[in-house]
Chains A and B, each alone.
Chain A
């Protein structure tokens, strides 16, 4: 229900009433699964255009046996009608101690071989990704700041 004219106050209250009816009473997990929307953190042309148009990338597949994305996992994503691979670089869910938690689900786009599409990452990245087992040396070379 929305009110016409200059009734901003009444519109706020109607928003509240609808919001209050739908709030969740169970624990909030904030997991990154198939279907979540991510925020591209590169300076690549594809990523910038997608975020400006209001059509962020959406996860289609996760390369991990429990299909829940964590920091450093590779991921297939749908952007602007294309399929692209990427790496998860920041998550909203609560983490263990000494691992940072971000305010948005961040990711970096890359090719099938592992070459990133952009030339620079604009946002700080956790130090977890520096492990040799992840194999993300080319993405570490682009990064500006570590947390």
Chain B
């Protein structure tokens, strides 16, 4: 899956919840509170870059080992894909 391009499908979007002071991922009958890491990953989904590229960019930005970031990104996105809140397409 790391070669796929992840994106938010129609009907799924982020929303800043002023009341709770959190970013939320809104989808069909779902509202997922995003932590900082989750929000950082979601913010990278531009529909252009592959999962590998996104993990590399995040690793560079946060000065973290790319292997660890790749695992986090893959787990997070796979979980959301299982919930159909993220889609993946071939590059």
Q: Do A and B bind each other?
A: no
> Which residue numbers of B lie inside 8 Å of A, CB to CB?
none
